Each structure stands twice: as C-alpha cells, then as structure tokens.
Chain A
Amino acid sequence: DSGVTQTPKHLITATGQRVTLRCSPRSGDLSVYWYQQSLDQGLQFLIQYYNGEERAKGNILERFSAQQFPDLHSELNLSSLELGDSALYFCASSVLAGGGVDEQFFGPGTRLTVL
C-alpha cells in the first residue's frame, strides 16, 4: 500500500459525459501528479500540482482539467468524454516539487470506461 488513495476504482460512463476522479496523496506529500495509461499511448504524464499550484503540464487535453485543494487532495475532471478517453488514470504523490530525487508513490488507479 503506497498511501495514495484514488476514488472511484472503476467508472463507466457514456460519450459526452463529464466525470471527476479524486486523489488523496500520502500524508506530508505536497506534489500530486496525474498520469493516463492506455494500450496505444502507454503511460503518459498529464499534469502536476505542488502545494495547490500547477507545476508542470504534459499531454493533457483541453477537455481535461485538474486542481489541488488546500487539504492537498486533487481532482481530475474529464469532460465531453470520447471513446478514446477510456484508460487507467493514475495519481502519484511526492514530498517535494519534483525532479529526480523526489520519489513518486502511485495510487491503485481509476479505470475509466467510456461507452
């Protein structure tokens, strides 16, 4: 158990809908990262927040957005869902702002299925 929690574990929805994925980092960790894992794209970094502020941005679609709240939990919002958004979404957390020495701990993921 990494100490990172994600809810829900599974999510099934229809095209065009909007969903929210939630992540609670390990106690004491200030950074939260979101990743998307799909069969064709592999594991891709989406976005990072550090202590409430956006820190780094990866291949995140404009239909997706995220935020980190004062209690440091984070939410990833996916809207106007398409079939291709079906994937496993991971959250990770780390103590610092990132970089090689800052180990990331991964949650169990949320499996999103868009029908």
Chain B
Amino acid sequence: AQSVTQLGSHVSVSEGALVLLRCNYSSSVPPYLFWYVQYPNQGLQLLLKYTSAATLVKGINGFEAEFKKSETSFHLTKPSAHMSDAAEYFCAVSALSGNTPLVFGKGTRLSVIA
C-alpha cells in the first residue's frame, strides 16, 4: 500500500522568499512521485515527477524537488516565491505497475505575501 503525508496544510511566504513544501511517502515498492498544482477553480497541473532517474527533478515555473530514499521524502522547493505561485499543491505517489492509481496527499495551500 502507498500513502503520502504533506506536512502543513497551509504555508505562507513573502514574495522573493524560499518556498519549501514538505512531502513524505510510504511505499512497499519503488515509488514514482509527483507534484501537482491546482490554481483556484482549475484542474490539477503536473509540476514535476520523479521516475527513478535523477534524484533532483526540475519542473515548470522554477520548482524542483529532491527524492531522498533514506528520508522517504520528496520536498518541493523554489528559490524565490512569486505572487503567481499562490495555489494548492499536491504530492502524489504511484508505482510502476499498471493497476496502481495515484495516491494524493491532503494538499498544502501556499500563500504569497507582497
């Protein structure tokens, strides 16, 4: 079974500050990990994904995440927050086999203060 825990349902940062959104996973098989972003009144958009290649994954809009197996973590970071980054962020886990759907965390709402 797989699960994801996102620490902090709400994170608030100042514009220009570092963004750090935390995600820890549990998986009995090698995981594939994803970060999705949901803007108000919109569907989910893939930010980045880890598929067992490089442990440091770069995504869209300046975001990146690092897979740390020893810590079972996949935290999302961005060096400098922009007002347009305000949204809900979801971490998700899947596995290689075809019958394992995405399992999402509860989400973290990111607020960016001017």
Contact = CB atoms under 8 A, between A and B. Distances in A.
Size bracket of the A interface = 20 to 34
A56 B46 contact: no
User: Main secondary structure on chain A at its contact with chain B?
Assistant: loop
A99 B97 contact: yes
B interface, size bucket: 20 to 34
Interface in B83-97: 90, 94-97
A85 B107 CA distance: 20
B102 A45 contact: yes
Interface stretch (A13-21, A65-73, A75-83, A100-108): A100-108
A94 to B, nearest CB: 10
A64 B43 CA distance: 22
Contacts of A55: 98-99
Interface of B: 31-32, 36, 41-46, 49, 51, 90, 94-107
Interface of A: 2, 4, 33, 42-45, 48, 55-56, 58, 90, 92, 96-109
